Amino acid sequence: MTLPAPFPSSRPRRLRRDAFTRALVRERTLTQSDLIYPVFVQEGTKKRDAVASMPGVERLSLDQLLPVAEQCVALGIPVMALFPVIDAGLKTPAGDEAFNPEGLIPRVVAQLKSHFPELGVMTDVALDPYTSHGQDGLLDDTGYILNDPTVEVLVKQALVQAQAGVDIVAPSDMMDGRIGAIRGALETAGHVHTRIMAYSAKYASAFYGPFRDAVGSAANLGKSNKKVYQMDPGNSDEALREVGIDIAEGADMVMVKPGMPYLDIVRRVKDEFRVPTFAYQVSGEYAMLKAAAQNGWLDHDAVMLESLLAFKRAGADGVLTYFALDAARLLIRP
């Protein structure tokens, strides 16, 4: 860095004097096109079930989801990410419902693309919403999560989603080799335009609790954890290795999850690889800000926008956030 002239020749506050100057020299900006809106979808009609640990977030049936998709289009939010709430009776140890072509997610994808072809649709490729044990993979007799057999199921799941018309598949399972296997299967099946956003640096975080409540996997998981496949929160270099592997295997975009507690990882990934890089402002982050704002301890809109801008400053090209609708409404105000 070139050092500036000493005071008083250099007065950095000159560039902060008024709003137009601050806008002129601002290094990063946040727009609605930076946002991806995660939503929870369930079977049925006229169903809106609040998620108690995520104020303002609901599990929606398809008929209730379509107006939300329309709002995304109107607000300029480019992508909606789908997360299924699967009936308990359909959950099995092997997660077979994950690759049912008539299942919930393929039907929702088809309807969304039919009604709103201009809206990008992203789907989660993982087994935890579908397994009776709440893990993201298949178990052996000792309860250890098997890698290669799980990848075989994930490939089936991704192919079903691609056939339904999804734009982006997002493997969030953290199994080794799954990006290469999914990319190869998509190419072989002719789905050459289906993009892959890999959850490349997904940590075994305590910030996921409200999400697991929302999709109904918390009770199934019980006191188990996901530390044998999700990353150790103390590791940073390992994240770069994981991202590099996924890019080499065919990922178009990569993601760091969680978001704000791992902004250093976002920065390192962007500096190292210069590929489209995303961060997930996860359920726990959202719940904390919501709870503090509801108690009057924080200014809701101010901390929401500041937190999202932090992702852009760290190097993220976009953010998955449950604040997407609220943030977009503020960002488009004249």
Cβ(153)–Cβ(98) below 8 Å: yes
| Count of C-beta atoms within a 10 Å radius of residue 4 | 10
Distance CA 262, CA 102 (A): 37
Distance CA 47, CA 53 (A): 18
User: Would residue 46 show up in a list of annotated catalytic residues for this protein?
Assistant: no
From 202, 226, 270, 290, active-site residue: 202
Distance CA 154, CA 129 (A): 13
Distance CA 250, CA 171 (A): 12
In 9-40, which positions are buried (b, 16+ CB within 10 angstroms) versus exposed (e)? eeeeeeeeeeeeeeeeeeeeebebebbbbbbb
From 257, 270, 290, 312, active-site residue: 257
Distance CA 244, CA 215 (A): 30
Q: Which residues are catalytic?
A: 202, 257
